[in-house]
Structure 1
């Protein structure tokens, strides 16, 4: 049986001031009328039922997620007591899924991706599941054909093509995962034609990823197994907090994927974007004839290359601005050079240092 595991615990600090601790980017409508998490669940269609959907998030976000996703049972929402990166998140989800179905297949999805053409996305998931049925220990991921030398994405170096029926999306053996490159290296990757962007979406059997963690991260898995053993008992909350806090955080890429051998990559037939920063809005919403991207009510005079996000009740006027970022919210406004937006994370740290929690 197929289960969907959605990772929704990110803080989204690059999207401050819109993204806050109690309402991070995955709970906001940044790319359309619906929130990112709502879109992620909806695009799964009939691939999984609500009971086969598991969302792993920060425990403080559970009440809001219940409001946004009322069709999910309480057991579908797992609130982590602290942030420990993606490997513990996925490992815990695999244990919980395996409790329900020891032979289950998991589709692991971030909650903050923009994917257009849901039917093609669903077909790709089915293709991945079909691959795993033929080779049960197979790990499948999705790669995006790059259309520019992005420095913000990881890359997958593809190897030999895997023969599948003609209607399927091209599928390859994975040679190697590469971290986010510099501009020159990214250009080499794109020009070679052998590299795809790493989408961060994975399909595997629950027992496959648990075996990989047993080999590569036995200490982590030991903590997670104690949580799994206590799940559904009166001791669940106490054990969860104690054992999860004791885990050393690590990403699934470092913990497993960089060492995995039996990995295939499907070249995604759908449009994809990782909503990683405010500049993503320009790619998603497009630009006007002055190269501006505007969401909300705005008047611009001698304004070019600028991103503005406000709402229809608050007018933003820019004069003589070039390559800027303006984000208005009811209690905070960000004005920055859009090429310095990595410093937005520093703003969040400064707010923490000042004790201005009302802005976090």
Structure 2
């Protein structure tokens, strides 16, 4: 049976001041009328029943997510005791799913991407599931064909094609870390590299075995948790064992060394919505190149990203290539080229004890 695991533990600091600790990016409406996490489940359609959908998030966000997803069984929204990166998150999900369904196939995906063709996405998941049925030891991932030399994504280098597949499927030669611009351009020119979309399919048993072999220190804690699922002391064991894990991404823990990984070339539109500049890709700019969400009056202003809330109107005069984000209690003004420094602003607020703005 196919299960969908939605990773929703991120804090979305690059989307401050709209994104906050108790209402991070995945709970915001940045594209369309639904929040990002609602849209993530929407695009699954009828492919995965709500009973087989699981959210892994921080425990402080469980209630807020449950409010946005009333159709999801409350027990399927799992709160991590603390943040420990994606490998422990996925290991915990695999243990919980395998306890429920020993032969389960897991589709693992982030909660904060925009994919505007649910039909193509579902077709890709079906292709991935078939590849796993053909070879249960496989790990399937999805590669996004790059259209510019992005420095903010990891890359997947493909090898030989998998024959007799319904889609473009290749053995993975290797995973590459985020490159500098020159290297990213070389990847783009080569035509054999994909952006790593962070979406995976595997059997629950396969990923647990891979963790046991490649990250035994993580697996030991996950196994201790798994043995107490359904027991009275499970909450205490989860709290103790999960906190003892040294965080590591699934790429470092498994993907870079696992010998049987295939990549499906994704034919669905995809955006990781990593920072405020993503709004320019998700919303049609006006005739002056301004991307506006909310109310804005521009005077000699171009190339800006404007985001306001409620009935608040932002007026810009002589402003070019800037980001302006207004919320009821904070406003961000920054050059577009400095958007990565929004994290510095969040850190500075924390250092000054302005916790109410975090």
| Shared fold, TM over 0.5 | yes
Q: Cα RMSD over matched residues?
A: 0.9
1:323 paired residue number? 321
- C-alpha contact 2:170 2:262 (8 A) present in aligned 1: yes
1:134 paired residue number? 134
Answer yes or no: is 1:201 the counterpart of 2:225: no
Deviation by residue 1:119-159 (Cα, 9 ceiling, x = unmatched): 11000000000011001101100011111111111111111
- C-alpha contact 2:309 2:328 (8 A) present in aligned 1: no
1:20 paired residue number? 20
SS at match of 1:130: helix
1:60 paired residue number? 60
SS at match of 1:70: coil
SS at match of 2:18: coil
1:179 paired residue number? 177
Deviation at 1:253, TM superposition (A): 0.5
**Mapping for residues 250-265 of structure 1, pairs under 5 Å:** 250-265=248-263
SS at match of 2:343: helix
Deviation at 1:21, TM superposition (A): 0.4
Answer yes or no: is 1:117 the counterpart of 2:123: no
More displaced, 127-136 or 288-297? 288-297
Deviation at 1:44, TM superposition (A): 0.6
**Mapping for residues 75-94 of structure 1, pairs under 5 Å:** 75-94=75-94
1:343 paired residue number? 341
2:291 paired residue number? 293
Deviation at 1:291, TM superposition (A): 1.7
Mapped partners of 1:311, 1:350: distance in 2: 24
1:49 paired residue number? 49
**Mapping for residues 297-312 of structure 1, pairs under 5 Å:** 297-311=295-309
Deviation at 1:312, TM superposition (A): 5.0
Deviation at 1:232, TM superposition (A): 2.3
Deviation at 1:43, TM superposition (A): 0.5
Mapped partners of 1:227, 1:337: distance in 2: 46
- C-alpha contact 1:327 1:335 (8 A) present in aligned 2: yes
- 4+ aligned runs moved over 6 Å, structure 1: none
Mapped partners of 1:122, 1:47: distance in 2: 7
SS at match of 2:227: helix
Instruction: Give structure 2 stretches of 5+ with no counterpart.
Output: none
Mapped partners of 1:313, 1:14: distance in 2: 24
Mapped partners of 2:31, 2:101: distance in 1: 35
Instruction: Give structure 1 stretches of 5+ with no counterpart.
Output: none
Deviation by residue 1:55-85 (Cα, 9 ceiling, x = unmatched): 1000000111111011111221110111000
Mapped partners of 1:312, 1:248: distance in 2: 42
Deviation by residue 1:204-240 (Cα, 9 ceiling, x = unmatched): 0011111110011112111111212222222122111
Which residue of 197, 215, 218 maps to 2:216? 218
Deviation at 1:341, TM superposition (A): 1.1
- C-alpha contact 1:169 1:269 (8 A) present in aligned 2: no
Mapped partners of 1:57, 1:311: distance in 2: 26
What's the TM-score once normalised by structure 1's chain length? 0.98
